[in-house]
């Protein structure tokens, strides 16, 4: 009980504790199909982290980290900071400098708040952390990015696949925008994927053969399946494991 200003006893409102959501990570798909029963033979993988994405709340992240800890001895956690600037530019209309500053800030915040999740499973798996910004500083990134941009311009099937992914993403957020704004968002989405794929190629080259992600990567999965033979070899040889997070 508590007392109000007149000294009259009033009941304290009790808020029932909410039950913390729990999830179980399950395999949704593996690309190429031939790696479905063999990818666990690899010792190491990398987990792609998309910032401000609902699949990376603490309970969902915990389910993925637990899943990884049962299969891999080492895992690099790739934090998608610098590439997230493109999302902020297109959906929040932030100027480039501010978008990049905010994206890097979000990356640091993710690591500060979620590092404990990885620490909990440190005895099973050696988790290390890497930012997209760091990868993009390297010469090999620039080389892969240049090759992918050229391939995008030259190959209609690859270009169509990348663009269709962007269309699907932005269609949900397209109410009230002009045709010019729509085209701008698609262009930025294309750039996002080309930068992201160049980063993935760098990680594969550095000895990380398996990518784990909670969701679909249609174009990347197509590359892994051999549907875009002109893509960099590092992407064609990458194993892409898509996870489904099941609430329980």
Tell me if 65 sits within 8 A of 181, measured CB to CB: no
pLDDT for 222 = 96
Work out the average pLDDT over 190-217.
96
pLDDT for 8 = 36
| Percentage with pLDDT > 70 across the chain | 89
**15 Cβ contact list (under 8 Å, min separation 6):** none
Task: Name the β-bridge partners of 210.
Answer: 239
Question: At what angle are helices 96-119 and 84-92 packed, to 10 degrees?
Answer: 130
Task: Name the β-bridge partners of 45.
Answer: 75
∠ CA 157-165-37, nearest 5°, is 85
pLDDT at 114 over 70: yes
pLDDT for 14 = 40
pLDDT at 13 over 50: no
pLDDT for 18 = 42
pLDDT per residue over 50-94, tens digit each? 999 999 999 999 999 999 999 999 999 999 999 999 999 988 889
pLDDT for 176 = 60
Match 């909670």 to its residue by tokens. 214
Tell me if 75 sits within 8 A of 127, measured CB to CB: yes
Supply the pTM of this predicted model. 0.88
Tell me if 131 sits within 8 A of 82, measured CB to CB: yes
Summary mean pLDDT of the chain:
89
Edge-to-edge strand ranges of the sheet holding 126-131: 23-31, 239-247, 210-213, 44-49, 74-79, 126-131
pLDDT for 20 = 61
pLDDT for 68 = 98
Element (H, E) at 68: helix 58-69
pLDDT at 7 over 90: no
- Residue 23 φ/ψ, nearest 5 degrees: -135, 155
Closest CA to 39 of 242, 245, 246: 242
Roughly how many angstroms between the first and final C-alpha of the chain, as a whole number? 36
pLDDT per residue over 116-170, tens digit each? 999 999 999 999 999 999 999 999 999 999 999 999 999 999 999 999 977 776 6
Closest CA to 46 of 213, 182, 233, 185: 213
pLDDT at 12 over 70: no
Task: Name the β-bridge partners of 29.
Answer: 242
pLDDT class for 10, splitting at 50, 70, 90? very low
pLDDT class for 180, splitting at 50, 70, 90? confident
């Amino acid at each position: 009980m508590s007392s109000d200003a007149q000294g009259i006893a009033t009941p304290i409102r009790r808020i029932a504790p909410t039950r913390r959501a729990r999830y179980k990570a399950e395999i949704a798909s593996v690309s190429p199909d031939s790696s479905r029963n063999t990818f666990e033979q690899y010792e190491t993988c990398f987990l792609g982290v998309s910032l401000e994405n609902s699949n990376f709340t603490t309970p969902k992240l915990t389910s993925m980290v637990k899943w990884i800890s049962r299969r891999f001895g080492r895992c690099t956690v790739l934090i998608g900071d610098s590439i997230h600037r493109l999302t902020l530019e297109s959906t929040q209309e932030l100027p480039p400098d501010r978008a990049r500053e905010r994206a890097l800030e979000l990356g640091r915040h993710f690591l500060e708040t979620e590092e404990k999740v990885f620490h909990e499973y440190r005895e099973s798996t050696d988790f290390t952390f890497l930012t997209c910004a760091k990868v993009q500083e390297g010469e090999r990134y620039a080389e892969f990015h240049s090759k992918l941009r050229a391939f995008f311009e030259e190959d209609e099937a690859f270009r169509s696949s990348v663009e269709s992914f962007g269309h699907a993403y932005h269609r949900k957020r397209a109410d009230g925008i002009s045709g010019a704004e729509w085209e701008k968002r698609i262009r930025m989405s294309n750039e996002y994927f080309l930068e992201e794929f160049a980063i993935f190629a760098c990680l594969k080259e550095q000895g990380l053969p398996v990518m784990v992600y909670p969701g679909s990567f249609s174009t990347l999965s197509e590359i892994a399946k051999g549907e875009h033979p002109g893509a960099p070899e590092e992407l064609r040889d990458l194993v892409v494991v898509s996870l489904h997070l099941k609430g329980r």
